[in-house]
Amino acid sequence: MLRIARTVRLALAAGTAAVLAVGPTASAEAATGNIRYFSASGQEFRIDNPPDRVCLTLRVRAQLLANNTDRTLSYYYNADCTNLVNILAPGRAVAYANPLSVRIIA
């Protein structure tokens, strides 16, 4: 009986260690902040804490795109992150590039 209890405690300890080890890396897979963009009519849209390395299609072509995250993003003319327009450093904005998709790259 003690042998089973020891095995269960060991398994629980290993499981807890695995969860603690994976937890911080999961939170590191998203930028902190938001991407704000505006349509030609001035309507504002936001993407909060966007995930890293995931293509995000914008709801409209962005007349103004602001990177208010802590990571660099790339922006694309097409909806599927093709036809790269340029990259945008944290805290920067661009007007009249007309992107339709973005991706956090670094």
CA 56 and chain centroid, separation: 9
* Domain covering 33-104 in this structure, CATH number: 2.60.20.10
Q: Residue 34 burial (CB < 10 Å; 0-12/13-18/19+)?
A: middle
| Percent of the chain surpassing pLDDT 90 | 72
Q: Give residue 13's pLDDT.
A: 52
pLDDT in tens, 34-75: 999 999 999 999 999 999 999 999 999 999 999 999 999 999
Q: Are 51 and 30 in contact (CB under 8 A)?
A: yes
Q: Give residue 74's pLDDT.
A: 98
Q: Evaluate if residue 8 carries a pLDDT over 70.
A: no
